[in-house]
A and B are shown apart, each in its own frame.
Chain A
Amino acid sequence: MKRFSAVLSVIAVATLAIALNPAPEAAPAFSLTNAEGKTVSLDQFKGKYVVLEWWNNGCPVVGRHYRSGNIPKLQAEMKAKDVVWVSIVSSAPGKQGHVDTTNARSTMEKNKGVPSEILLDPTGAVGKLYEAKTTPQMVLISPKGELLYNGAIDSNRTGNQAPEEVVNYLTKAHEEAVAGKPISTPRTQPYGCAVKYGS
């Protein structure tokens, strides 16, 4: 009887784990105008890892990651590993962080950012499609178009963590995927400013 109930609870825990950590789903397709005014669609990056970064240049939390050089460094490192880094702006016109083709790239350059693409999502449709709640928020998509990670950039929610304690969930997911391992943390609660969607 004891063994029976132990088996039952193992099954229950396993079911729970599956319910809470489902297999990767397909990353929703989208196309948006980039900072240079051209249309860019997600499927043109098939065959490469893609990072989506929700960006609001006025958000203090985003500012912390740019001023410290953290995000620019990640952008350069990931691009060097043949990853496509896409910064997406879902701020509505008139709201904090909104940029258009006239100032998106220059604003990013002022922040020393070097993403592969800056995509403009003024209606917020793509942000909502990916459940983007905050800036920054990071998504990792596999070369096959699977959603591997969606959540916080790292564990340093208040900015007070010691550098050696900080876990970067994005690079961790990428390293695990490249090594053929399952993603240990496919979702985390993002932190930062609420995405400034229009109403």
Chain B
Amino acid sequence: MSALLAALALLGGEPRVTAEIIAPVKVSDGGPIVYAVAVTPQMGWHVYWKNPGDSGVPLSIKWDLPAGWKSDPLQFPAPKKFSVGDALNYGFDTKVELTGVLQPPSNSAKGAYRISGSLSWMACDEEACEAGELDIELQGSLGTSTELDSKADEAYNRASRAIPSKPAKGTATFTKDRYVVEVEGIEPGGAYFYCESEGTILHQAEQKVTKAGERARFELPISPFAKKPVERLRGVLVTGAPGSQAALRVDFPVHVSTIGTR
């Protein structure tokens, strides 16, 4: 029965993922254009974080920008873990909202703008993967405050509150074959570090988290694909029990220790 439903879906039934753009939220005089995108995978399917883990492709957006314009990287909320066999993936299996910013050049002339782009994703379940994309067009007028769409503004504010912004305080050391990360003021129970770059830590390794005085101490084995330790360890630290989780931003310089582990 489920195979039949899956087959029907493949024959042009329900899409695996629906996506929408929430924009423009606000445009101040010549200032940046902020937007959000909402991506909702069908039950049983997931899309991927900026580091998708052992397989997968991150959600990404590509803008066709006029000369001088810049696009800041998409901002993601904290992901979840998905185990597929002995591999581990990072992503989202329910609606996820991401935020982004387009920066016009500082000397840009006032007037209308119209910018097109496309949001693309790969969604997978246990059996298969499918790709999809959403064509996006943003238009408005620079130099005049755009009237706020209250629904878009609300959605953007909700999305932006979910992006981890509070910085974690602590240190990162690389010793022999692992990163040792110590973070102040958090409890080890339920804590997990999502590294944002691929090929940095071994995703599948269980993260050993212990109490070290007032700090939580993480041991993160280096990825077998790493040529050398990274200079900065970046990512998101999720703490607390499910339902009452908090997420901190991690961006620590890595001190490479030449002394073996103990």
Instruction: List residues of chain A with CB under 8 Å of any chain B CB.
Output: 8-9, 12-13, 16-17, 19-21, 58-61, 63-64, 94-96, 133-134, 151, 157-160, 185, 187-197, 199
Contacts and interface: CB of A to CB of B under 8 A. Distances in A.
B56 interface: yes
A197 B129 contact: no
Report, nearest first, the 7 A-B pairs whose CB atoms are least far apart: A60-B131, A96-B128, A12-B258, A194-B55, A189-B199, A193-B129, A189-B225
B124 A157 contact: no
Contacts of B129: 58-61, 96, 193-194
Nearest to A59: B129
Contact of B224 (A94, A187, A195, A199): A187
A189 B223 contact: yes
Contacts of A190: 55
B122 to A, nearest CB: 5
B122 A193 contact: yes
B138 to A, nearest CB: 18
Nearest to A56: B129
10 contacts: A21-B227, A58-B129, A61-B57, A61-B129, A95-B128, A158-B57, A189-B199, A191-B55, A191-B198, A194-B85
B177 interface: yes
Interface in B213-262: 222-228, 258
B131 A63 contact: yes
A157 B57 contact: yes
Given A196-B127, A196-B128, A20 B227 contact: yes
Nearest to A9: B258
Contacts of B3: 94
Contacts of B124: 193-194
B60 interface: yes
Contacts of B120: 158-159
Interface in B193-226: 198-199, 222-226
Contacts of B130: 60
B62 A160 contact: yes
A63 B198 CA distance: 22
Contacts of B84: 194
B215 to A, nearest CB: 25
A197 B120 CA distance: 26
A61 B258 contact: no
Contacts of B228: 16-17, 20
Contacts of A188: 199, 225
B87 A191 contact: no
B55 A158 contact: no
Interface in B128-143: 128-131
A199 B85 CA distance: 7
Contacts of B153: none
B58 interface: yes
Given A60-B122, A60-B130, A188-B199, A133 B222 contact: no
B54 interface: yes
B122 A61 contact: yes
Contacts of B223: 189
